[in-house]
Chains A and B, each alone.
Chain A
Amino acid sequence: MNLIFNHENCSGCGICKLACSIINFKQVTSARALLRIEGLFPAPGHYQIHFCDQCGACADVCPVDAITLEDGIYRINEEDCTACHECVEACPQSVMIIKDEDDMPAKCILCGECAIVCPREAIILSTEENLKEIS
């Protein structure tokens, strides 16, 4: 599974961000979201979604190898993590966060909730079926 982003469909409503925070952290806030929406206003006047594309930059900089690739998803092993936050700094999309309660970093694990709740197909799940449709 992967996510496909249609930036031109995004209206900046932020449903995806709130759903991400609730599903992953049980917190009603946008601040915990593991994706960002940038409003490019007043010009050129549209939205840009910044998201984790599982590039692995976080794993590359981790000094203790606490971030590992499993089935195409980079996951943080909190038992090994030293909370140095180098991964958060290194994220090229700035979509990793630091959790207030335990100082641990967090990143997108492709749960897909953002795509499920998006009312505008700005984010869609790339199942085999819709990949065929797109191609």
Chain B
Amino acid sequence: MDGYAGKILRIDLTGEKISKEKLQQKLCKEFIGGRGFVAKTLYDELPPDTDPFGEKNLFIIATGPLSGHFLPASGKTHFGSKSPATGGYADSNMGGHFGPALKYAGYDMAVIIGKAKVPSYLYIKDDTVEIRPAKAYWGKGSLACEEMMKKDLGEGFQILTIGPAGEKLVKFACISHDFGRQAGRTGIGAVLGSKNIKAIAVKGTGSIPVWDIEKAYAKGRQAFKKVSEKPGFKGWTPEGTAGITDWVNEVGAFPTKNFQTSHIDHSHMINGKKVLERLKITDKGCYCCPTPCGKYGHTKTAAGSAYMEGPEFETIALFGGSCMLKTIEEVAYANFLCDELGIDTISGASVAAFTIECFEKGIISPEEIGKKIEFGDLESIIYLLNLMSLRQNDLGDLLSQGVKIASEKIKNGSEKFAIHVKGLEWTGYECRNAPSMMLAYMTADIGAHHNRAWVLGHDVVGAATNVHDLITAGAGGDKRPKAIVSGRDSARFVIDSQHTRPAFDLLGCCRLQMMELGFEVENYAELYSVITGKEITWDDLIKISEKVWNLTRMISAREIKDFGRRLDYPPPRFYEEPTPSGPNKGHCISLEKLDELLDAYYSARGWDKNGIPTKETLVRVGLKDMIKL
């Protein structure tokens, strides 16, 4: 089947059974790949009410039809499971080089169930697939483990690892790859840990079939050329995602002190320019990426020094804003520590900031924590990251569950500033004055994540624009968000974005060339057609993306008790506490506005008042054969 490797790899760790099956054309046609494969497989094969850490939970690795091909940024790999963080649908993706290697080895997807008898790693070299003991690697940091395995297996292997946090089932444990790429969200690293799998190594020497290799290569060359001609190619690439730090701060959307407010005074100390000046050794690109976001470097602080990739914007926002670390070196060190421990920087920083606020309000005592802690203090952050990742005491054990569960146990009003949706900690945009972005967080299918719909630009300038143009135009004055967007407009912006951005996750390539530089979406439909030999339009892809969006909602509705509208609200901080300072001082989104947003969103999607897709909608999007109506 052109474009695809052609096989699905199935591994039952309990029974030590490895099998390979032919990829079905129907699956490719109806769900494309990547996130589509993840959602379809989870819906069909995950037994309802499965414990996320139980043997029956699935760990899925999926690539897309464009993964590994000659086109801009074809290196995305998707992971799927039932989330330990939310109990619902989980997917998380990463760049790097793993997905293409898996396809060159012959597999579009791997589905892993069961639990290995002893700590193990998976060895995949073309047709050879083995469950190997990982005694030497167990307990090692994610980065240290990858370094050891590269030495042991050789340069040609692409490796993903978990850290000690994944082994200890921390609910925001991540997967690491290529010394700095992470599939960070939804606790997917802990699922691998629960299966006793420390790492997966893959080397592929085969080739992916292509419908017309001459045309595909020419189209790929043309795509690289078009991307290189975009103004953002030279403007965006040097700083990557860190380049938006000042803009987000200036528009008053920067998470500050556990989202108490939305503006910091020290963004000039932690912005993209500082990454280049103080840290960077080299740009570090994902597979076939002409515009590498990754900045690999070295940091030196009073607490220690380290080589690390990053920090990217989200890490800067959460550690530099929410935790108030003062310099880019400190942010980078916290980034390194998360990577080595194997936790998501976003959730790790959020849990730390939540804990510090609890301490400052007298809800948690120094005795419970083990020491006094404060915002802006690197030693406090290091202490807390170790505490939660290694589950070092009773509090560490509780914090390893994430802010939702921690606040439900700690109580005393802490629920109001546990910043999450559905149990997934909030990422780098404070939204009390950005209703569209607020709605995006409320309705993202994995919890409070920005990458399903990044619509902050709509709230700021009222229209879609690529990020490079947005930040080049600057912030402030009449462009500052005023929360004047209607609920219906917000719903439309969010839904469009929730279909467009995840469409890239079906294809298996990165969206940043489109989002950041404005590389036109039609190019991807053309690339798909010339690689697979199947004609498709971008509108066709968007329809499939809408189908998958409804399917992920149905998975969470099946898995989470009383799932629905009640889980789509942000924490009370955002509708009860007006922003106390900064450009948006005094702004607060009302509960009525949140309901207006949800009503408009559900209505536009064809969901009922409780946020569940109606039968008519499931039929319309093409799920009638799959879901019992």
Contact = CB atoms under 8 A, between A and B. Distances in A.
Interface of A: 8, 10-15, 18-19, 21-23, 26-32, 36, 38-39, 41-47, 100, 117, 119-120
Contacts of A21: 207
B508 interface: no
B104 A42 contact: no
B179 A42 contact: yes
Given A22-B70, A41-B296, A45-B298, A29 B282 contact: no
A95 B300 CA distance: 37
B213 A29 contact: no
A31 B68 CA distance: 12
Contacts of B179: 39, 41-42
A29 B104 contact: yes
Contact of B70 (A12, A19, A39, A44): A19
A18 B292 contact: no
Q: Which DSSP category, helix, strand, loop or mixed, fits chain A's interface?
A: loop
A46 B281 contact: yes
B281 A30 contact: no
A29 B205 contact: yes
A23 B68 CA distance: 16
B307 A41 contact: yes
Contact of A28 (B205, B210, B221, B308): B210
A31 B104 contact: yes
25 contacts: A11-B289, A13-B287, A15-B70, A15-B224, A18-B70, A19-B70, A22-B213, A23-B217, A26-B213, A28-B69, A28-B70, A28-B207, A28-B213, A29-B104, A29-B206, A31-B104, A31-B204, A32-B207, A39-B179, A44-B281, A45-B282, A100-B205, A119-B224, A119-B291, A120-B283
B307 A45 contact: yes
Interface of B: 68-70, 97, 100-101, 104, 143, 147, 155-156, 178-179, 204-210, 213, 217, 221, 224, 228, 281-292, 294, 296-298, 307-308
Nearest to B101: A30
Contacts of A29: 68, 104, 204-208
Contact of A11 (B228, B284, B308): B284
A19 to B, nearest CB: 7
Given A28-B210, A29-B104, A117-B224, A18 B282 contact: no
Nearest to A28: B208
Residue of B69, B179, B284 contacting most chain A CB atoms (<10 Å): B284
B292 A11 contact: yes
A106 B257 CA distance: 59
Contacts of A12: 284-285
Contacts of B308: 42
Nearest to A8: B282
Contacts of A43: 307
A38 B104 contact: no
A83 B557 CA distance: 61
Contacts of B210: 28
Nearest to A25: B207
Contact of A38 (B155, B205, B221, B286): B155
A40 B317 CA distance: 29
A22 B209 CA distance: 11
B97 A45 contact: no
A90 B4 CA distance: 36
A28 B213 CA distance: 9
A119 B228 contact: yes
A19 B224 CA distance: 12
Contacts of B297: 45
A32 B204 CA distance: 11
Given A22-B217, A32-B207, 14 more contacts: A10-B282, A11-B284, A14-B285, A14-B287, A19-B217, A28-B68, A28-B207, A30-B101, A31-B104, A42-B307, A44-B281, A46-B296, A47-B282, A119-B228
A13 B307 contact: no
Contact of B282 (A15, A46, A117, A119): A46
